[in-house]
Structure 1
Amino acid sequence: MTRDRISHVRLSSVTLPLATPISDAKVFTGRQKPMTEVALLFAEIRTESGHEGLGFGYSKRAGGPGQYAHAREVAPDLLGEDPSDIGRLWTKLVWAGASVGRSGLATQAVAALDIALWDLKAKRAGLPLAKLIGAHRDSVRCYDTSGGFLHVPVEQVIDNAAASLGSGIGGIKIKVGHPDRRVDLARVTAVREHLGEDVPLMVDANQQWDRPSAQRMCRELERFGLVWIEEPLDAYDAAGHAALASAFDTPIATGEMLTSVAEHAELVRAGAADILQPDAPRIGGITQFLRLSTLADLHHLQLAPHYAMEIHLHLAATYPAEPWVEHFDWLEPLFNERMEIADGRMLVPDRPGLGLTLSDKARAWTVETCEVSGG
């Protein structure tokens, strides 16, 4: 039997500038500086038969050059391999760099390659990625985050929310976690009063409350009928999140900052999340996301993947229970295609694979490339 083989890998380090510096609670508490750019790692894989796959990962603030450097070291291990054997190749790439761990930056570098392999496999089959995996739906509920950051005046947050809903987006998430709890409550009150009770509304504290503050704020926020309260505590405080999840009616959502399936499994074991928020580029790619998705389903958890809607739309569509996908417009300039939205839902594209091609801007913002070829 003749099998296709991987013959070429192209890696690109891309710096995406943001139009406005972005601040969430981590900036207001002094832990981070405003974000001005996003670093992306793109992987383009080609086979001897001419099939191609595109994948990407990202880093907000530090880490982008490290992801690129690690991917450049392990990518040669793909040459000559059958691209269909994605699980085996994920393991091979992870063990190639096992001395720096099987989570964090190392597996984030592997994620871009893993996603490219899944994109390639779906394209070879002539199917959208969601259909290759096995979709439960052709569209997913979506909510907007990019208009609700803490540096944005509440009047503008309300205008942004109205524009998002007018474009067909189904829900709105705003940031909280301001050092002055009265500011948070005033902003949530204003947004809820403007939107009315029927519009799905979420809040995100970005890990900036301690346990007493989180207890107090979750109690105060109960009256707003929120879809969830996100990251009220440090991402690794499974016991603290579990206490909140058991004490309040409003669901607790967390998981986006974790960088492996094993870390998420700790949340699941502790009962720390009503809604799990994995990020495929952060946990090692689609191969790992599917493992985690199965675990979440077995424990009857809701799913709302973090960021990277271009990838997560397909993955959310394969989850048995009705999920959410996060609409973020930041990455749109990198691609020639746009996600279609209607009636509060994001539609799975009918294009093969992820259905993405890199734009001229993505090429222009490329700061470094590496070509890996066999022979």
Structure 2
Amino acid sequence: MTGVAASRDAIVRAEAWLCDLPVETVRTDAMQSFLSQETIFVRIETASGATGLGYSYTIGTGGGAVLDLLRTVLLDAVTGLDASRHEAVWRAMISSTRATTVGAVSSLAFAAIDTAVWDVKAKSSNAPLWIAAGGARESIPLYDTEGGWLHLSGDELVESALSAQRHGLGGVKIKVGKPRGAEDAERLRAVRDAVGWGFDIMVDANQAFTAAEAIRRAAQFDDIGLAWFEEPLPAEDVSGHASLARSSSIPIAVGESMYSIGHFKEYLHAGAASILQPDVARIGGITPWLKVAHLAEAYNVAVAPHFLMELHVALTCAVPNSLYLEHIPQLRALTNGDMAIESGAGVPSDTPGLGIDWNLDAIDGLRVR
């Protein structure tokens, strides 16, 4: 790139702020309740006047720490860098935080900047993110999570699953982690009996079990025909996941609680997961998310990312080995329109940039002052 072009793409201003966004519905799993979403925004401007708006999030705590790292270290570290060179920007963030990486706070902060960089980069090339990042497909099948929370009754689970099926979605995810596995299995069988065998059922334990209990519950679920068993164990227990994967025919899905590319590599090398669920915010941005997706492709493993459907719809359409997109709306209070859905599939925006139609007045109204 010439010096003139580089100067036009140089980041000349960067700011960060925090919004406290209420959740859209009651959400409970085996480990916690999702009560609020701290959403961290970063806005960058280049010398040419191009702007990018990126974001990250936490489930209720830690947003202030992420914001502080951005304001005291990272925004200064990236100012002056070429926004068209996302790898160089990401490396600069790593170099400025060696003592605190790899970790959740750093990765969440990286993601807010990296998504802003990709936003301005895609806008500058007049391309939507799904094409700028690969353009592998034009839509992605959806599955529903909102109707599967742990506090819901069996009848409510069935009703929600049938509604998702009527709307053309490919499956539903149901939380597990009741005191006894038989209770989980009973709830799942009720849903299977209602929807039949042409509809996927996923289960998610949110890291609640030991390896022994996960193996035991997988055996109790074996006749239900599950599409995957998500986060059965704590994310750091690679060997436990490998033992479970060897003992069960149910595909094991992990990734929402993993914060580095290397952690995903360990799972793949150990044969401990057959579906990866990287989260842009938690892995540190679009730049490392794409690396995880391509690493999974090299292992012939599918990706089905966690949360952030408004952003992940573009990324799942960018790569060839995407399996599903999780339908769990959370940004409607901050945007001017919903993600497009056609025949039960998510459709990415063709607007240059991330493709999220932000309502800037609403964002400003929810700022934590």
Contiguous gaps of at least 5 residues in structure 1: 28-33, 369-375
- Give yes or no for the alignment of 1:25 onto 2:26: no
Give the Cα separation in 2 of the matches to 1:206 and 1:123.
Answer: 37
Q: Which runs of 4+ in 1 moved over 6 A?
A: none
1:10 aligns with 2:12: no
SS of the equivalent of 1:67 reads helix
1:145 deviates by 0.8
Alignment of 1:344-363 (within 5 A): 344-359=344-359, 360-363=361-364
- Tell me the distance in 1 between the aligned counterparts of 2:160 and 2:347: 22
1:270-306 CA-to-partner distances (Å, cap 9, x unmatched) read 1110101111110110111122122111111111111
Q: Which moved more, 1:291-300 or 1:333-342?
A: 333-342
Shift of 1:83: 0.8
Shift of 1:357: 3.1
Conserved in 2, the CA contact under 8 Å of 1:39 and 1:60? yes
Partner of 2:35: 36
Q: What's 1:81 paired with? A: 81
Q: Which of the pair has the greater relative contact order for Cα pairs under 8 Å at 6+ separation?
A: 1
Q: Which amino acid aligns with 1:268?
A: L
Calculate percent identity across the aligned residue pairs. 36
Amino acid at match of 1:22: R
Q: Using the alignment, how far apart are the partners of 1:166 and 1:51 within structure 2? A: 43
**Paired position in structure 2 for 1:206:** 206
Q: State the partner residue of 1:372.
A: none
The 8 Å contact of residues 165 and 195 in structure 2, kept in 1 or not, is answered as no
* 1:173 matched to 2:176: no
- What SS does structure 1 have at the residue aligned with 2:202? strand
Q: Any conservation in 1 of the 2:20–2:37 contact (CA below 8 Å)?
A: yes
Partner of 1:111: helix, strand, or coil?
helix
Describe how 1:269-280 pairs up with structure 2 within 5 A.
269-280=269-280
Aligned to 1:296: 296
Secondary structure, counterpart of 2:31 in structure 1:
helix
Aligned-residue offset at 1:322? 4.3
**Is 2:66 the partner of 1:67?**
yes
**How many residues matched?**
362
Partner-residue secondary structure (3-state), 1:332: coil
DSSP-derived class of the 1:7 partner: strand
How much does 1:175 deviate? Answer: 0.5
| TM-score of the aligned structures, taking structure 1 as reference length | 0.92
Q: Which residue of 2 aligns with 1:194?
A: 194
User: Unaligned stretches of 5+ in structure 2?
Assistant: none
Is residue 53 of structure 2 the alignment partner of residue 54 of structure 1?
A: yes
2:321 maps to 321
* Corresponding residue for residue 312 of structure 1: 312
* 1:64-113 deviations in Å (ceiling 9; x for gaps): 11111111121022222211111111111122122222332112101110
CA distance in 2, matches of 1:35, 1:301: 29
d(CA) in 2 for partners of 1:159 and 1:52? 44
SS of alignment partner, residue 37 of structure 1: strand
1:31-180 aligned within 5 A:
34-73=33-72, 74-180=74-180
Aligned-partner SS, 1:26: coil
Q: Is the 8 A contact 1:168 1:341 kept in 2?
A: no
For the residues of structure 1 that align with 2:161 and 2:332, how far apart are their CA atoms?
19
Amino acid at match of 2:221: L
Q: Distance in 2 between matches of 1:158 and 1:50?
A: 52
- How far is 1:330 from its partner? 2.1
Tell me by how many angstroms 1:254 deviates: 0.8
Q: Could you say which residue in structure 2 is the equivalent of 1:184?
A: 184
TM-score by length of 2: 0.94
Question: What is the letter of the counterpart of residue 59 of structure 2?
Answer: K
- Contact 2:134–2:319 (CA under 8 A) maintained in structure 1: no
The aligned counterpart of 1:230 is 230
1:129 offset after TM fit, Å?
0.6
Measure the CA separation in 1 of the matches of 2:364 and 2:147: 27
Letter in 2 for 1:160: S
* Cα-to-partner distance string for 1:132-188 (whole Å, 9 max, x where unaligned): 121110001111112211012222222222333333432111100112222211211
Could you say which residue in structure 2 is the equivalent of 1:246? 246
Letter aligned with residue 61 of structure 2: A
Equivalent-residue separation in structure 2 for 1:350 and 1:181 (angstroms): 45
